Amino acid sequence: MSADYTVFQAGSIDSWESHTFSVPEFGFTRPGTQFLRGPLGLKGAEVSVNVFKPGQTMPISHRHKANEELYLFLSGTGEMLLEGKVIPLVAGTCVRCGPRVARDWRNNGTADLVFVVVQYPQNADVKTGFDDGEMATDRWPA
């Protein structure tokens, strides 16, 4: 069986602010985001690890054409603006945005706002959990 996996070390959360994300067509560069699609060779999704320093705001509000996004907030506090409604963000907040939902977020707290974003085609026929699983024989050595 071929080894169909990749590993990428994004570094400790404390180092995530050193990653930089640029979108020249929108005219901004933002520190604190590492996209994983390229380094991991992802085919069906884009994933990013992110840290916003206190007072940091996403430089643009945006929406997507076909992809929805899942935001998983791990630590810190902030706010997300979804179609004009302000949603408070704390550790454990999970937000799904359909493609056409306008979104923006910011860190309004005193500590880093740490989160993961997963972007994927909204209408993909994804099998979940054990619907797509099967038993394997690989186990930890005794």
Please provide the size of the chain in residues. 142
Q: Quick one: tokens of 17?
A: 């602010």
46-55 pLDDT, tens digit each: 999 999 999 9
pTM of the model: 0.87
**DSSP bridge pairs for 94:** 72
* Residue type at 38 in one-letter notation: G
Q: Quick one: tokens of 125?
A: 């026929």
67-111 pLDDT, tens digit each: 999 999 999 999 999 999 999 999 999 999 999 999 999 999 999
